[in-house]
């Protein structure tokens, strides 16, 4: 399975103030019966838009879950205390040899 990153679908000239999306064609696999139902139910010229809206909703849902997990980690006092203990090892001779 190929994984795509945001850099694969956003034009390299994109700026935060003016988001210009570059279109990318993707090859996906569906069970044959679902593909037939999809083709029967969704007109040809609307298929990409339908898939796009479904993917956008799922990506947003997953991003929201990750954000909530990050907030929970930030609020975890026990984890912060443990990380402070690990800070004592900074400079113990382990360094980047580049």
pLDDT at position 37, please? 97
pLDDT tens digit sequence for 40-79: 999 999 999 999 999 999 999 999 999 999 888 888 888 8
Cβ neighbours, 10 Å, residue 50? 13
Query: Which tops the pLDDT comparison, 57 or 81?
Result: 57
State the DSSP string of 26-47: ------HHHHHHHHHHS-GGGH
Separation CA 85–CA 89 (nearest Å): 8
pLDDT value at 32 more than 90: yes
What's the pLDDT at 87? 80
Average model confidence (pLDDT) across the chain: 81
Read off the pLDDT band of 1 (50, 70, 90). Answer: very low
Which residues in 56-84 are b (16+ Cβ under 10 Å) and which e?
A: eeeeeeeeeeeeeeeeeeeeeeeeeeeee
């Amino acid at each position: 399975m190929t994984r795509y990153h945001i850099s694969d679908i956003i034009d390299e000239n994109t700026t935060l103030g003016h988001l210009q999306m570059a279109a990318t064609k993707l090859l996906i696999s569906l069970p044959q019966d679902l593909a037939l139902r999809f083709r029967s139910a969704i007109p040809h010229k609307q298929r990409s838009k339908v898939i796009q809206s479904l993917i956008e909703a799922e990506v947003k849902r997953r991003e929201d879950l990750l954000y909530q997990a990050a907030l929970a980690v930030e609020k975890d006092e026990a984890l912060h205390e443990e990380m402070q203990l690990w800070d004592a090892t900074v400079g113990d001779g382990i360094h980047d040899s580049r």
